[in-house]
Structure 1
C-alpha cells in the first residue's frame, strides 16, 4: 500500500538532510511516521511545501520525502503525484492552501484528511475575552507588519474559508473528538468520519510525574504567544492563588513575549506581549511568571514533569497535545472546558475542567490540588491510565492503516 502524506512543514529528519530550517511543531506527525515506517505493508511518501525553486526528494530511513516549491505548486503536485502513484493521499490539517491546490490539481485521487485544529471555528474565539480596546491597538511591530490582534483574527477567518473548501471536497475525515465531528458535520454532512487519536512524543511514554519530586505550588503552561492560549486569563487568576500560596509560580514554555528590557526588544514586541507586561505589573506579579524560552522535547518533558499542576487556559482547543502529554506523565491537570477537551479529561476524576471565562475557578481548582496530596495523587493516577489508552501508539497506527484500507476499498 503506497501512502502519500501531505504535511504543512518539512519533517525534521528531511529538513536537516537538505539544509532547510527545522521548524517546531508537528510532533504527532513525527511520532506516527516513526511507527509507520516499521510497517511492512506501508510504503510511505511524505510531501510538504517549502520556499525553494525546485523539487527535492530523498529517501531517509525507509521514508521517501519530497519538498514541493510553493511557486507553481499545482504543476508540481500533478507531476509528483503521477510519479508516486499513491493508493491514498493523507492530508494532515485542513487550513492550508497547498492542500487545496493539490485537491484541485489532482481531483481523481483518493483522499483522507485529518483534523488538527479548525481555523474556521478557532477564529471566532481568537480574541479570547481580551478587552476590545486592547485587541484593536498596535505596537510598533504591529504597525510595521500591518497586523494587530483584530487583523490576525480576520486572517484566521480568511484561512478558515480555505479549510471549509477542503473539508467540503474531501469525503473522508479523521478526527478525535465530539467537537471536531460536530464541526465537520456542519461543513460537510456527507463526509465519512473516522475516529483516530494522535500519537505523542517519545519522551512522555517513558517517564512519569512524582508528587515527592515535583516543585510544589508550581504551574506549567505549554505556550502563551497568542491570545487563544489564554495566558492573560491565567494571570488574572494568579492573585487569589498568591494570597493562599505566596510561593506560587507560573512557568511558560516559549519566548518572553512581554520582554522589553532593551530598545530593540520593545520594537519587536507585539501588542499582546505589551498587554501581558501591563497585566503582570498591575497585579503585582513580577517574578511570578517565568518564561522558559524554546524547549526541546526532553526539556519540555522534564519541566512539565517537575510541575505541581499543568494548566491549559485556552479559549478553544480540539484535543490539545499538551493536555495529552500531561496525562501520559500523570501531571495533575486543570483545563478550560472548551472544544474537545471533555472527551479527553473526565471532570473531577482525571482533572478539573472550568468555563473558560471563569478565571476564579482556575484559582479554586489549582488551589485544591496544591493543598491536597491525596487528590493530586488520585488525579495523577487516573489521568495517566486514561492517557495510556487514548494515546496508545500501536493502536493509533493500526487504526490509521485500517482507515487507509477502507478508503482504498470504497
Structure 2
C-alpha cells in the first residue's frame, strides 16, 4: 500500500489534525483517532473537515484542510481538481458537504474509488425522531425554539432536509462501509446497486483499559450517556422510573448535559420544547432527587461514569451501532438497551445484556430491576465477561484498521470510468 494517496472527508476535526494545529484535543472525534494514525502510517493521507474557520497545513504525517460549511463546495473543488487520489473516503452520509464532495468526484470520473462510511442513516432515523412524544408536544414551541429553531418539529424538519443529501449521496456512490445488518438493509433498499463493505469501528482509546466491578459501583445508579434530543429516548426512561422506584427507592439516573431541573418558574422560558417536556415528566413523577446532570464530560470522565454505574441504559428510539453501548460493553458495565436498529447485532439478550421493546417502559423497568437484584451474582458476572469478550472482537483496533486498508486495496483495483 506504499504510496497510496487517500483523501478523507470528515464532519469534525480529528485529534490528529488538532495536534498538528497545536490545539487541545477534545472529547469529540476520538473514535477516528487510532484509525487516522494507522492510515497515515500506511498511506499518504489528506484530511478535509468541516470547521468554523478555513485552515490548511501539512506536516510529516498528514495534509489537512478545514473549511467553513458555506465554503465547502469551492474548497473541495479546489482540492479535488488540483490533486487526484487513489481513494476517496467520506465519513458520514447526511451532510451537504458530503454530497458536494460526491458530485465533484463523479465529475472527475473517480466515483468507483469513492467509499462512504455509514455513521447513522438519517433518512431512516428521522422517521423515529419523536417516538413516544405526544403530538401536542411535538408541535409546541417555547421562546427559545422561536429564537433558535430548536423545537422537536424543527429537529424533524432538519433531519428530513439532511436526509435529502443522504439519499442523493447513496444513489450516486458505488461503495459503502457499514457495521450492522440494519445499515446494510437500509442502504441497499435505497440503492440496490451498492457494494457493501463490513468494517467495525474503533472506540476512544481510554475504553480499552479498565473493567467494571460490582465492588466499585454506586448501587442503584443508572448511567445514560446523553439526553439532549428525542432520539435518545430519555423520556421513556423517565416514564419507567416510577416502576423502578417502587422496588428500589434509592435509584438515581446519572446523565450528561445541562441541568434542566434548575430552570423553575420564569427560568423555564430558557428551555427547548423537548427539555420542557422532560421537566414536565420530572414534575409529574417527582424525580428531582433522582436525577443528576453532569454537564459535558471528557472521554475519561465518561469512562468513570460507566465504571461507577450499577447499570447503563440505552433507551434510544433508533440506533445504528451505538458507541455508548460499545463503550459500556468494552468495560463490562451491565447493559439494558432498546431493541432497535443495529443494536441486535451488538449484544445477545440474556448473554451479554438485556434488550427490550423500545416503547415498553414496563420491560425497561423490569430489566433494570433485574440488574439491581443481587440474588444471582454468578449470572451477572457471566454477562459482564461475555460482553467484554464480544466487544474486544468487535472493536479490535488492529483487525478493524487492517480491514479498512483491505477495503482501500479492493477499491484501488477498480477501473476508472
Q: What residue number does 1:26 align with?
A: 29
Structure in which a larger fraction of residues adopt helix: 2
- The offset of 1:148, in angstroms, is 1.6
1:60 is displaced (CA, Å) by 4.9
Cross-structure match for 1:405: 409
Question: How many angstroms apart in 1 are the aligned matches of 2:91 and 2:70?
Answer: 20
2:387 to 383, 388, 399: 383
Give aligned pairs, total.
405
Whether the 8 Å contact between 1:258 and 1:273 is mirrored in structure 2 is: no
Cα distance in 1 for residues equivalent to 2:265 and 2:15: 33
Contact between 2:119 and 2:320, CA under 8 Å: does it hold in 1? yes
8 Å contact from structure 1 (residues 309, 331) kept in 2: yes
CA spacing shift, 1:237–1:328, aligned 2, 3 Å: same
Give the alignment's TM-score, normalised by structure 1: 0.94
Aligned-partner Cα distance in 2 for 1:42–1:212: 45
Residues 19 and 127 (structure 1), Cα distance of their counterparts in 2 relative to 1, 3 Å cut: farther
- 1:367-378 matches, within 5 Å, as 367-372=369-374, 373-378=377-382
Does the 8 A contact of 2:180 with 2:342 survive in 1? yes
Are 2:31 and 2:203, in contact at CA under 8 Å, matched by a contact in 1? Answer: yes
**1:396 to 1:16, Cα distance in 2 relative to 1, 3 A:** closer
Question: Under a length normalisation based on structure 2, what TM-score does the superposition of the two structures give?
Answer: 0.92
Q: How far apart, CA to CA, are the structure 2 residues paired with 1:20 and 1:68?
A: 17
Separation in 2 of the partners of 1:407 and 1:380?
Answer: 39
Per the TM alignment, residue 73 of structure 1 is displaced from its structure 2 partner at its CA by: 3.0
Map residues 285-304 of structure 1 onto 2, 5 A cutoff. 285-304=287-306
Q: Matched residues in 1 for 2:393 and 2:351: separation?
A: 16
State the secondary structure of the residue aligned to 2:153: helix
Equivalent in the alignment of 1:85: 84
Q: Indicate how the Cα distance of structure 1 residues 361 and 179 shifts in structure 2: closer, same or farther if over 3 A, else same.
A: same
- Whether the aligned pair in 2 keeps the contact of 1:3 and 1:88 (CA below 8 Å) is yes
Q: Which runs of 4+ in 1 moved over 6 A?
A: 19-23
Instruction: Output the aligned Cα RMSD.
Output: 1.9
2:328 matches 1:326: yes
- Aligned-pair distance for 1:197? 0.5
1:118-159 deviations in Å (ceiling 9; x for gaps): 110000000121011111111110121244212220221111
Q: Does 1:131 align with 2:130?
A: no
CA distance in 1, matches of 2:301, 2:39: 26
- Does the residue aligned with 1:106 lie in a helix, a strand or coil? helix
Q: Distance in 2 between matches of 1:27 and 1:307?
A: 22
* Structure 2 Cα separation of the partners of residues 160 and 23 of structure 1: 28
Unpaired runs of at least 5, structure 1? none
Is the 8 Å Cα contact of residues 150 and 273 (structure 2) preserved in structure 1? no
Q: Would the aligned equivalents of 2:15 and 2:30 in 1 still touch at CA under 8 Å?
A: no
Cα distance in structure 2, aligned partners of 1:84 and 1:20:
28
Taking the aligned partners of 1:387 and 1:182, their CA distance within structure 2 comes to 23
